[in-house]
A = this chain, B = another copy of it.
Amino acid sequence: MKLNTKSRYAVMALADMSKFPLDSPVSLRDISLRQSISLLYLEQIFLKLKKNEIVKSVRGSNGGYVLRKDPKNIKLSEIFQAVDQKVKTVGCKKDSKKGCNGKSAKCITHELWDELDLYINNFFENKNLSDLLMTKERRN
């Protein structure tokens, strides 16, 4: 049970952006250097973040990306959804042909996994970008 780099990098990159003036574009190149994330990979990630309206892009020289909302209004759950790494711990769908179907007693643990999904989603639902910065600042 582990998180993939895409979600992790997305959060890292956005947290990084949050530390700079929110109205001026931050280039992926800078993020790449500061966070040690491949530039090409970041581009892929930001394409998704853009499509999901978490950031907007400013093209051309001195361009970059800008957050579309205040960091305290960007929930981690949004970010995860954007890079489509949905928290779905198990493949067994409500109406799958094989294996677990509602009527048989087979998938006795079905409810458990649903509950787990909700539980984890709840974590991300209650955390926003500015939460991350605060804990960091408190320490320095």
Partner-B contacts on A (CB < 8 A):
1-4, 7-8, 11-12, 15-16, 34-36, 80, 85-91, 98-99, 105-109, 111-113, 116, 119-120, 123, 127, 132-133, 135-136
11 contacts between A and B (CB under 8 A): A2-B89, A3-B89, A3-B116, A8-B109, A11-B112, A15-B108, A34-B106, A36-B98, A108-B132, A109-B132, A112-B127
Contact status B136-A111, CB under 8 Å? yes
In Å, the complex CA distance between A12 and B16 comes to 41
Closest 3 pairs between A and B when the two form their complex, measured CB to CB: A3-B89, A1-B87, A15-B108
Task: Find the B residue at minimum CB distance from A18.
Answer: B108
A106 to B91, CA, bound (A): 34
Contact call B135/A111, Cβ cutoff below 8 A: yes
List the B residue with the shortest CB-CB distance to A120. Answer: B120
| B12 and A91 form a contact (CB under 8 A) | no
Minimum CB–CB distance for A136 against chain B, Å:
6
